[in-house]
Amino acid sequence: MLWKKQIPLAIAFIMGLIFGIQYFVPHRISDQFFQGYLDWGIVIGIFGSMLGFISFYRAHGMRVKKKAPAWPYSLIAIAVSIFMALAGFIQGRETGTIYSNMYFYVLVSIEGTMFSLLAFYISSAAYRAFRARSAQATALLIAAIVVMLGRVPLGEQLSFWSNIWPSLPSITNISDWILNVPNMAAKRSMELGIGLGIMMLSLKIVLGIERSYMGSD
């Protein structure tokens, strides 16, 4: 139906126009209006979380019902999520409760293990990416080695020339220069491009050109 498309487009256009103007209006009413919008955003986010939980239980419940491959893991995920929710509602989240102990002694440990594995994965990917097959790859490899040495005490100890010629920069100084000058320039150019992309996408949504948020229909 036509109204199912026109109403969301009208809401996006009106709200985008209002908040585009609100940003440049330094007035108490404008600030209160924006704060009210943030409060409503929290409420909408809570309902969005509820939809996420429903989708979570529905997806894993279907896997358990159909006995899909690795379905016991889905059963464990459902059981643990219900257990954590009940523990939080019954005892609260204070230190020493079941919820707190499960979070700090189980979840935090699992996250530490995952990040440790991720570190080895990143090292493997860096080894494949930094092979000196060209001048650009060689420069990237040298810069990466210097930055890594400059972040650890070993790099300062390897800078033996600093004791002989104090005017020469150490590995730590070179590492800081790489991070603060060429790396910062590349980072800011990327942030500028991302910002322009966000502005263009927001403008397309406000004007109704971009409609992917309305679904495939």
- What DSSP string describes 73-133? HHHHHHHHHHHHHHHHHHH-SSTTSHHHHHIIIIIHHHHHHHHHHHHHHHHHHHHHHT--S
pLDDT of residue 2: 61
Indicate the residue type of 209.
I
- Taking the C-alpha atoms of residue 210 and residue 9, their distance in angstroms, rounded to an integer, is 10
- Sequence ranges of the domains in the chain: 38-91, 94-129, 135-208
| Whether residue 188 has pLDDT greater than 90 | yes
C-beta neighbour count of 45 within 10 angstroms: 10
pLDDT of residue 94: 85
State pLDDT tens for residues 136-152: 777 877 888 888 888 77
pLDDT of residue 1: 61
Instruction: Provide the phi-psi class of 67: left if phi over 0, else alpha when psi is between -120 and 50, else beta.
Output: left
| Whether residue 217 has pLDDT greater than 60 | no
